[in-house]
Structure 1
């Protein structure tokens, strides 16, 4: 692998575009596969408004789904939503080479195995993004806060290629935490995603300030986090009770933020229901852990989805 490896972003929405910009600033060749907004990105590049400075860039190549790649990348970074019926292995297969490293920057729990099984010869690096960023127009991203990545090799450990990619992200200007136990870190990320994302949809796309400042809102978030922690402990990943208040305090420090699930709901796009909360409830059932608040949120959202499907039929 060269000193400055080639990067391909599959799913260049707000998250993929931002981390592509960081790697571009580190001197990498960064290309993107666009499912939409192709014309805007070809014409104007990717525009990113950020307090980190000038991050806007023109990708080295802009591909459509179905294009033939000029060469396989060193790192393929997958940033698409983890949705039922979306075959992520089929999505990336045309772009994979013998030595391509798969990198996931995606939400959810138990999302790596599908790709590790489909490409057993290609190692997987799993990343958790702690970021507030939104796509506000075709090819335009507002980066509101944070950007840290927690990274590790899947299913565990930290290999040399994961370290090399981490160094590139650091060179590009963001904080990286490497972990030997990335699955445990996914559980830690669930402490925020699993309560805030689904609840924002039930509250009609509410932002973080509305959720926390409504009477009873912060207490409901606390109960949801406690239930996630109980499931994580039963699955072998116990966590400190202090993380409940740390998550709430950290959320209060950021500007009012509509998370990705809220934006998907408001824009009539599918939501990552199973990846973010459904898998947590399924693991709770496996371990016989009672999660009444999480189950209520999940079942209510499934009712909403069923009604929406009936209306569109």
Structure 2
């Protein structure tokens, strides 16, 4: 890429979040999207984005392909960024994106949930920079091709590992900021990952298993807020054991945000609940399994989290069998 050339970006996973950021990046980049389940709709009609921040009824028709092999066969210059916005299912995405990763050149940007997700990319692509991010973007895609985005947008960015050179993280931050996103660069993104896990680790599996929004869970039983807080505290204890300090005040703040939505009937459908509703597999390892293993490695008590892992893992296996049938 030269100073007079737009960066070339391939987005892998054009769900709700991916499509919003693809639309933004298309303002400053040459973009291509790998679409899977929504390929036919995206190819024929593109996307409609309804956003409380960016506007309603935005029609966006990107260049789409069915696979990374198809993108690689176009015989175009190498991609500068591969932006991964698919579910964090271990052992899958690195092999799928391999055809479009140019060793020593392509930066791999992970727009994925959870902790402990980056190492498999580092192992698969040892000469490529890894940029890790944490997202705050409440969004749904229902039906396919129609994106509904709420009133929050933010992306936290850092190099992986934190000791790695950060020029690619800085460059991606500047790029997405110039496109209109709210982006912040961090020296160590892992603290931000653990902090978001305070929200994701309890709410995602519980809402998916209960088939309910977060506010419905809180209203189900007087002791429900205490259960959610207990799971959050286990996440905090695991994070602290790994060197990332999260205060009790932060735990209480995150719980209070959900409580505040009850009077205004503004419950949230976490991503796992959306996946279960549409019969897709869930990010059980990234959000629940990895924290449990990391807790046990430090002898941190995490009984509630481990129970959620067993239940969510069972649900994920059930969803996987249905998809394979």
- 1:58 corresponding residue in structure 2: 61
Residue number among 3, 11, 16 corresponding to 2:18 in the alignment = 16
TM-score, normalization: structure 1?
0.91
CA contact (8 A) 1:7 1:73 kept: yes
In structure 1, distance between residues paired with 2:284 and 2:158 = 24
- 1:142 corresponding residue in structure 2: 148
CA contact (8 A) 1:31 1:62 kept: yes
Gaps of 5+ in 1: none
- Report the 3-state secondary structure (helix = DSSP H, G, I; strand = E; otherwise coil) of the residue aligned with 1:137: coil
CA contact (8 A) 1:21 1:56 kept: no
How far the C-alpha of 1:143 sits from its partner, in A, is 0.7
In structure 1, distance between residues paired with 2:230 and 2:140 = 28
- 2:98 corresponding residue in structure 1: 93
Is 1:250 paired with 2:257?
yes
Q: 1:174-189 maps to which residues of 2 (within 5 A)?
A: 174-189=181-196
In structure 2, distance between residues paired with 1:173 and 1:269 = 31
How far the C-alpha of 1:172 sits from its partner, in A, is 2.4
Gaps of 5+ in 2: none
- Report the 3-state secondary structure (helix = DSSP H, G, I; strand = E; otherwise coil) of the residue aligned with 1:258: coil
Query: Number of aligned pairs?
Result: 309
How far the C-alpha of 1:151 sits from its partner, in A, is 0.4
Distance change in 2, residues 1:131/1:306 (3 Å):
closer
How far the C-alpha of 1:5 sits from its partner, in A, is 1.2
TM-score, normalization: structure 2?
0.88
Q: Deviations over 1:208-258 (max 9, x none)?
A: 221233332222111110010001111111211111122123345663221
Q: 1:248-287 maps to which residues of 2 (within 5 A)?
A: 248-252=255-259, 255-287=266-298
Q: Deviations over 1:144-182 (max 9, x none)?
A: 231201100000156222112112222222221211111
In structure 1, distance between residues paired with 2:120 and 2:280 = 23
